[in-house]
Chain A
Amino acid sequence: MIEGILIGLTTALTFQNILMVMVGCFFGTIIGMLPGLGPMTAIALMIPITYGFDPATGLILMAGVYYGAVFGGSTSSILLNAPGVPGTVATSFDGYPMAQQGKAGKALAIAAWSSFAGGTLSAIYLLFMAPSLSKVSLSFRSPDYFALMILGLTAIAAFSSKGQFLKAMMMVVLGLMLASVGQDSLSDITRFTFNNMNLTDGISFVLVVMATFAMSEALTIILKRNDPTSAAKQVSLTELGSIKINKEERTKMYKTIPRSSVVGFLIGVLPGAGATIASFLAYGMERNVVSDEEKEKFGKGSVNGLSAPETANNAACSGSFVPMLTLGIPGSGTTAVMLGALLGFGVQPGPRLYMTNPEIFWSIIMSMYIGMVILLILNLPLIPYIARILAVPKNYLIPLILFFSVTGIYVMSFNNFDIYLMIGIAVVATFLRLYDFPMPPLILAFVLGGLMEENLRRSLLLSNGSWEFLWDRTLTACILATTILIVVWHIYKTFKRKN
């Protein structure tokens, strides 16, 4: 492991990579801060830029964007009560009341320190857990992978908004259907191309991400411009107050941060869960463990109430890298985008990644530490200035997002058809978003579609067409049983709600 850490440090500490972490954190913070735009949009917009780099540098840049976006989201939660990303919704519960009391600077500082501590602690957990899990996952076979992918897709649907399980499952199927367009990987037979040569190679992953996130986010913002429910009340962005944290507040944070980081990391590791669930769980847990006196302060500007979700959401970000790096199965929509980008670089994440491409594996882990330090250095002193970015008019922001989206596709294919297809998918996605159809399950399914078919093919061929492979191995059967439980439980809940 020491050798790996050194390899990681050597790669991560090059001038170019440090610069990329800085750029990523800065860009991510800005994008994450803007309500409605989350880490997936930020990473999607970065993909064209990463084409110019080697895989390690590209992924380091995207990891920086990820952390930056999660941190940036907390800034708009605290100052505007308009979370930039779902993972920072819980931050607004106590962050915004604190800002209303004239302590916006302090709230931002608590959020910055908690994010830093949560991210750093979870990077340590990742350091120890990832290699061991990689070794364990070497024993995984095709049926296990197939079952695990089904579980991941079901779990991301189950953890989407309350009561939206079936909508999320429909999006999963749609994602898999989109992934099935083009040549079959083994026989080269074309499927669903309708004799259109542009579809022979399938639909590009970047195109789908840009369309369903960047472009449709931009269209949704314009569409809902006059929606009174989306208008946010504003805290003064010029007078944020002191950013100093006193001794009493620090003592509270010392207790909250370790437990919230563990919760965040473990939730992040679970396929389909992520920063949002982690932050809510940490917030709920914190409210249960603090004294009655402190409990009263929750929702009115509690230090514990702010620190817990901020620690957990950053810890979950690191946690979500575990299944992606060790199993090659992304745990969240954001890591699905990163996985897609990695596949685009020709790198196959999975148990062998840390043997075949140790520089990528370890440099990502090492860059997390560097990213956390940079985020802290970047965000603490720059808080008053960064906060003003929230005032960027949408008249400029939206066209720029559309421009980045089209550029991403243009530099990739130099093809008009791809641009039209992207616009078409974006329009459909915008309409679906209006009715709460979640997009992350679609992306996850799109990324996993090819791998899933491949593993199903191998499993069925090995078992001579029999579906017994699903219960032949205990591990496969356990994973599948969990999946069935999730599906049955959600359908049962829908019935119960009616009655």
Chain B
Amino acid sequence: MNINTTKIISLLFFIFSAFYLYTAYQIQVFAFDENAPFNARTFPIYLGYAGLFFSGLKLILPDPNTIKVDHKSLEYKKTGILILIAIIYGATILKVGYFLTTSLFLFASYYFLGERRWILMFLLSFPFVAAFMYLLHGILDIYLRDPFLQSIGVMG
């Protein structure tokens, strides 16, 4: 059976809208606001219904422009690895510091995407991040938290 993914996404959106609507009705408002013409839950309730309406229409109405995606040609593995590296990057950036994690993130990403020119990979990670940090922190005065550089006394 050929499953139309757009319809599945619409169904998921329908369910999501229903959940959103349910949550909107659960929003606690002040007692004096309960019967006011407009309170904190009014707009979300309309949005919930709008979501149900449009996703419902998408489910019911014919889909003349069915999108066919050739999953075999898609690079799921590399994309997955890249997302994983980004998550690790996000998890360590505050504890380890901007310079080291960003440089390692860039270096690892180049590597997993198939790059093997080591010198170029190095130049576009460690010195590049240092220059970028100087631009943000040194010139534009944007604070960058970096416990690692602080611990070795490079950053104040």
Interfacial residues, chain A to chain B (CB-CB below 8 A): 48-49, 51-53, 162-164, 166-167, 169-170, 173-174, 176-177, 180, 184, 186-187, 189, 191-192, 219, 222-228, 393-396, 398-400, 402-403, 406-407, 410-411, 414-416, 419-420, 423, 427, 430, 432, 434-437, 452-453, 456-457, 460-461, 463-465, 491, 494-495, 497-498
Given contacts A166-B61, A399-B106, 19 further A-B contacts (CB under 8 A): A48-B142, A164-B65, A169-B54, A173-B17, A187-B30, A191-B44, A395-B113, A400-B106, A402-B86, A410-B93, A420-B87, A423-B83, A432-B9, A435-B9, A461-B37, A465-B38, A495-B61, A497-B64, A498-B61
Checking A223, A452, A456 against B76 with a beta-carbon cut-off of 8 angstroms, the contacting residue is A223
B57 and A166 within 8 A (CB): yes
- Measured CA separation A189–B136 after assembly (Å): 36
**B1-37 interface mask toward A, CB cutoff 8 Å, 1 = contact, 0 = none?**
0000110011001000100100110011110010011
- What is the CB-to-nearest-CB distance from B114 to chain A, in angstroms, rounded to a whole number? 6
B128's closest neighbor in chain A, by CB?
Answer: A400
A399 and B105 within 8 A (CB): yes
Residues of B within 8 A of A177 (CB): 20, 44, 47, 51
B58 and A170 within 8 A (CB): yes
A187 and B33 within 8 A (CB): yes
Q: Dominant SS at the B interface?
A: helix
Interfacial residues, chain B to chain A (CB-CB below 8 A): 5-6, 9-10, 13, 17, 20, 23-24, 27-30, 33, 36-44, 47, 50-51, 54-55, 57-58, 61-62, 64-65, 67, 69-70, 73-76, 78-79, 82-83, 86-87, 89-91, 93-94, 98, 102, 105-106, 109-110, 113-115, 120, 124, 129, 132, 136, 139-145
B116's closest neighbor in chain A, by CB?
Answer: A395
Residues of B within 8 A of A394 (CB): 113
Known contacts A166-B58, A170-B54; A222 and B79 CB within 8 A of each other: yes
A494 and B62 within 8 A (CB): yes
Residues of B within 8 A of A463 (CB): 37
In the complex, which of the residues A166, A176, A414 has the most CB atoms of chain B within 10 Å of its own CB atom? A166
B61 and A226 within 8 A (CB): no
Checking B6, B37, B113, B136 against A465 with a beta-carbon cut-off of 8 angstroms, the contacting residue is B37
A223 and B102 within 8 A (CB): no
B113's closest neighbor in chain A, by CB?
Answer: A395
Known contacts A163-B64, A170-B54, A219-B79; A180 and B44 CB within 8 A of each other: yes
Checking A169, A173, A436, A498 against B67 with a beta-carbon cut-off of 8 angstroms, the contacting residue is A436
Residues of A within 8 A of B20 (CB): 177, 192
B98 and A395 within 8 A (CB): no
Known contacts A52-B140, A173-B17, A395-B113; A406 and B44 CB within 8 A of each other: no
What are 25 A-B pairs at a CB distance below 8 A? A51-B140, A52-B141, A163-B65, A166-B57, A173-B51, A174-B51, A191-B40, A192-B23, A219-B79, A219-B82, A219-B83, A223-B76, A223-B79, A226-B74, A400-B106, A400-B124, A403-B106, A406-B90, A410-B93, A411-B144, A434-B69, A452-B43, A465-B36, A494-B61, A498-B61
Residues of A within 8 A of B36 (CB): 461, 465
Known contacts A399-B106, A399-B110; A191 and B27 CB within 8 A of each other: yes
- What is the CB-to-nearest-CB distance from A59 to chain B, in angstroms, rounded to a whole number? 16
- What is the CB-to-nearest-CB distance from B9 to chain A, in angstroms, rounded to a whole number? 6
Residues of B within 8 A of A48 (CB): 136, 142
- Measured CA separation A464–B61 after assembly (Å): 37
Residues of A within 8 A of B9 (CB): 432, 435, 437
- Measured CA separation A187–B67 after assembly (Å): 44
- What is the CB-to-nearest-CB distance from A34 to chain B, in angstroms, rounded to a whole number? 15
- What is the CB-to-nearest-CB distance from A432 to chain B, in angstroms, rounded to a whole number? 7
7 nearest CB pairs, A to B: A465-B37, A52-B140, A419-B90, A399-B109, A498-B62, A184-B40, A163-B65
Residues of A within 8 A of B50 (CB): 173, 176
- Measured CA separation A273–B9 after assembly (Å): 26
B54 and A226 within 8 A (CB): no
Residues of B within 8 A of A163 (CB): 64-65
- Measured CA separation A222–B76 after assembly (Å): 9
Checking B39, B78, B105 against A187 with a beta-carbon cut-off of 8 angstroms, the contacting residue is B39
- Measured CA separation A166–B145 after assembly (Å): 44
A398 and B113 within 8 A (CB): yes
B51's closest neighbor in chain A, by CB?
Answer: A173
Residues of A within 8 A of B90 (CB): 406, 416, 419-420, 423
Residues of A within 8 A of B78 (CB): 222, 225
Checking B6, B43, B57 against A453 with a beta-carbon cut-off of 8 angstroms, the contacting residue is B43
- Measured CA separation A460–B109 after assembly (Å): 52
Checking A166, A395, A403 against B105 with a beta-carbon cut-off of 8 angstroms, the contacting residue is A403
B43 and A170 within 8 A (CB): no
- Measured CA separation A436–B4 after assembly (Å): 13
- Measured CA separation A225–B74 after assembly (Å): 7
Known contacts A222-B75, A400-B106, A460-B38; A423 and B142 CB within 8 A of each other: no
- What is the CB-to-nearest-CB distance from A451 to chain B, in angstroms, rounded to a whole number? 12
A173 and B30 within 8 A (CB): no
Residues of B within 8 A of A164 (CB): 65
